């Protein structure tokens, strides 16, 4: 205690300030151990520790964490237990979290959710896996964050939403992920939505497209975005007739995953649009051994809850505000609030 008091009291003196700065420089910037620093300066390692504490206390060292997000382990564990998942990753975001987030903050938060998904995928991927990615913004963010994977092939699960069939973000994500693992990329250079079922059938038969479609049944691990079925920019919702929208709305449509609509209990709902899309089928989606869903962040919980109830997912990546609502703010009048569908069943 006497040595600690001596260090704290003497630190304002120039020589002690310089000593603390030198010790801090070696520890924080040169990554040297306390034992090595103690030996260099002829002091005990306990004094090194006290000098480091004093350097922080006196603003010689300023620790600034610039990442505005962190993993909430207890919330993630609670999600896995509540919904019977293998993986639950909850990201606590410092800004724009919750239903009032601005579009800019939602995009910002989506990048961190994608980064968390990348970390999870990097941990669970094994050599020989076939990875599947849909065309969601979350997956685009994931592909930017992944730096290294085991040797894996990567398959695009949904066609392109934009007009550029060669350089769409979904295609870039597939190539980027394949490069991270040194595997083969199987993109879909086709639109997600076609004008009619006949045109979609013709495109599915094209050799390049068929090569990718044939690998849907081989996918072992996949990441998909979770969204509301009637979101303003949903291509599925936009392609529906008003009659079909009303029919689905009356039947309880709630969520959209990889081009498929689910009701509040998590049942997949066939739609007229399915015949016009280039996307992984419902049965193939059910057959994926590890399916990770990533939420958009701060856009309500109805769609997320529906997909969790479906039994399709083995893992979820979401923000803390959404996780809390999923765990503790279910609507008591919701008849489906306790229903979690068994995995791979109708």
- Summarize pLDDT for 51-82 with one digit per residue, the tens: 999 998 888 888 776 666 788 999 999 999 99
CA distances from 188 to 136, 154, 193, 274 (A): 14, 11, 12, 17
E-strand stretches of 8-86: 69-71
Residue 272, pLDDT score: 86
Sign of the CA dihedral running 332, 335, 337, 338: positive
- Burial label for 242, CB within 10 Å (0-12, 13-18, 19+), is exposed
Gap between the Cα atoms of 313 and 295, Å rounded: 12
E-strand stretches of the chain: 69-71, 87-93, 130-133, 153-156, 185-186, 221-228, 253-257, 260-263, 268-269, 290-295, 315-319
Average pLDDT, the chain: 84
Residue 3, pLDDT score: 47
Run of H or E including 38: helix 34-41
Is 7 a residue whose pLDDT tops 60? Answer: no
Length of the chain: 346
Is 106 a residue whose pLDDT tops 70? Answer: no
* Nearest to 113, CA basis, from 86, 90, 132: 90
Gap between the Cα atoms of 290 and 130, Å rounded: 11
Region 127-132: mean pLDDT is 96
The structure tokens listed for 225 are 């975005």
Gap between the Cα atoms of 266 and 223, Å rounded: 18
E-strand stretches of 179-338: 185-186, 221-228, 253-257, 260-263, 268-269, 290-295, 315-319
Residues 53/11, Cβ–Cβ less than 8 Å: no
Is 343 a residue whose pLDDT tops 50? Answer: no
Residue 330, pLDDT score: 56
- pLDDT-derived band at 185, boundaries 50, 70, 90: very high
Which range has highest mean pLDDT (176-185, 266-275, 288-297)?
Answer: 176-185
Residue 341, pLDDT score: 43
Give the least confident one: 21-30, 165-174, 198-207. Answer: 165-174
Region 161-171: mean pLDDT is 82
């Amino acid at each position: 205690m006497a040595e600690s008091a001596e260090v704290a009291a003497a630190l304002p003196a120039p020589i002690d300030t310089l000593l603390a700065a030198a010790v801090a420089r070696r520890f924080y910037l040169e990554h040297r151990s306390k034992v090595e620093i103690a030996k260099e300066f002829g002091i005990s390692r306990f004094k090194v520790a006290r000098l480091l504490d004093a350097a922080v206390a006196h603003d010689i060292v300023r620790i600034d964490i610039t990442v505005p997000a962190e993993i909430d382990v207890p919330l993630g564990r609670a999600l896995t237990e509540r919904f019977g998942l293998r993986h639950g990753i909850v990201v606590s975001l410092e800004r724009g979290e919750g239903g009032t987030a601005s579009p800019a903050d939602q995009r910002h938060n989506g990048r961190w959710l994608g980064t968390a998904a990348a970390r999870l995928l990097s941990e669970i991927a094994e050599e020989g896996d076939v990875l599947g990615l849909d065309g969601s913004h979350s997956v685009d963010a994931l592909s930017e964050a992944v730096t290294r994977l085991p040797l894996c092939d990567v398959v695009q699960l949904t066609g392109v939403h934009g007009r550029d069939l060669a350089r769409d973000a979904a295609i870039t994500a597939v190539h980027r992920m394949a490069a991270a693992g040194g595997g083969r990329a199987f993109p879909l250079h086709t639109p997600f939505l076609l004008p009619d079922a006949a045109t979609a059938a013709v495109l599915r038969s094209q050799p390049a497209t068929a090569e990718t479609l044939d690998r849907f049944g081989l996918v072992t691990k996949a990441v998909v975005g979770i969204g509301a079925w009637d979101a303003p920019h949903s291509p599925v919702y936009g392609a529906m007739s008003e009659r079909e929208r009303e029919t689905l709305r009356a039947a309880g449509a709630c969520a959209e995953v990889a081009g498929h609509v689910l009701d509040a209990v998590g049942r997949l709902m066939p739609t007229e649009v399915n015949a016009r899309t280039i996307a992984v089928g419902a049965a193939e989606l059910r057959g994926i051994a590890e399916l990770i869903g990533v939420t958009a962040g701060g856009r309500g919980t109805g769609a997320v809850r529906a997909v969790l109830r479906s039994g399709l997912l083995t893992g979820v990546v979401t923000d803390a505000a959404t996780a809390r609502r999923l765990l503790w703010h279910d609507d008591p009048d919701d008849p489906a609030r306790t229903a979690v569908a068994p995995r791979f069943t109708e």
